[in-house]
Amino acid sequence: MIKVGLFGIGLDTYWPQFDGLLERLEGYQQQIATKMEGFGAEVVNVGLVDSPVVAREKAQVLKTEDVDILFLYVSTYALSSTYYL
């Protein structure tokens, strides 16, 4: 079984500006994870990465989980430092 790492990117300054956006994007990402699981993959879904600090935290999780392949879900605009993995 393939072990898939999944993370999304966004911009943390958007969350207070757009009510419900974060939750909606997290839901979309979960749909992607569910589809991947339907193909027989083990999915390590670390959620949305929306700042450099969160990027470092999630990168450590993905390294620890030793995933075989990594998928990035681009949900909104993000700074290049946001997906520092």
| Angstrom distance (rounded) from CA 66 to CA 39 | 19
| Angstrom distance (rounded) from CA 13 to CA 62 | 24
Q: How many domains does the chain have?
A: 1
Tell me the per-residue pLDDT of 70-82, one tens digit each, with 9 for 90 and over. Answer: 999 998 888 877 7
Tell me the per-residue pLDDT of 24-60, one tens digit each, with 9 for 90 and over. Answer: 999 999 999 999 999 999 999 999 999 989 999 999 9
What pLDDT is recorded for position 80? 78
What pLDDT is recorded for position 83? 63
What pLDDT is recorded for position 79? 80
| Angstrom distance (rounded) from CA 5 to CA 49 | 13
Band of the pLDDT at 85, cuts 50, 70, 90? Answer: low
Could you list the residue range(s) of the whole structural domain that residue 62 is in? 3-83
DSSP 38-78: HTT-EEEEEEEE-SHHHHHHHHHHHHHHT-SEEEEEE-S--
